[in-house]
Amino acid sequence: MEREAEKSTVTLQEDERIGSVKIADDVVELIAALAATEVNGVSSLAGNLTNELMSKVGIKNLTKGVKVEVLEGNVRVDLAVTIEYGYNIPETCQKVQGKVKAAIENMTGLVCSDVNIRIAGINMKKDK
């Protein structure tokens, strides 16, 4: 219980009769990370592995490169991504921003005001 108290959480719903629903910032980070890596052209988040390897490595490695701030029901996301060579960077980033915003808002009910992206690198594919 002490570990849970240390984590930053946001109350999504509170009702005296049935209880409350809270979500940890770590969960919002995971939602953002998964949404970002689903976009074609995104190789990975900076400092982590792609979601194909997530089950082998664990959740903590997937959320490296993601920072989430939740203030009064408003979410601000900062992502550091690695883009695949050959993809249009502005177009790919717009897709990531839209997908991350939609995923957070649909899954949590919170408002996602900012999705800021930093290009941390380019992944050069090797011919097979």
Q: What is the CATH number of the domain that holds 63?
A: 3.30.70.1350
Longest Cα–Cα distance in the chain:
61
Amino acid at 54: M
Number of domains in the chain: 1
User: Is 13 part of a structural domain of the chain?
Assistant: no
User: Is 11 part of a structural domain of the chain?
Assistant: no
User: Is 6 part of a structural domain of the chain?
Assistant: no
| pTM exceeding 0.85 | no
User: Is 1 part of a structural domain of the chain?
Assistant: no
- What pLDDT score was predicted for residue 62? 65
- What pLDDT score was predicted for residue 16? 76
Res. 56: pLDDT tops 80 = no
Q: Which residues have a Cβ under 8 Å from the Cβ of 3 and sit 6 or more positions away?
A: none
User: Is 64 part of a structural domain of the chain?
Assistant: yes
State mean pLDDT over 54-80.
Answer: 76
CA-CA distance, 123 to 121, in Å (whole number)? 7
Residue 32: domain span: 24-123
Res. 70: pLDDT tops 60 = yes
- Residue owning tokens 């949590």: 108
User: Is 14 part of a structural domain of the chain?
Assistant: no
**124 secondary structure, DSSP code:** -
pLDDT tens column, 71-126: 888 999 999 999 999 999 999 999 999 999 999 999 999 999 999 999 999 998 76
CA-CA distance, 13 to 22, in Å (whole number)? 7
pLDDT tens column, 13-43: 777 788 888 888 889 999 999 999 999 999 8
CB distance 119 to 89 below 8 Å: yes
User: Is 7 part of a structural domain of the chain?
Assistant: no
User: Is 92 part of a structural domain of the chain?
Assistant: yes
CA-CA distance, 42 to 118, in Å (whole number)? 12
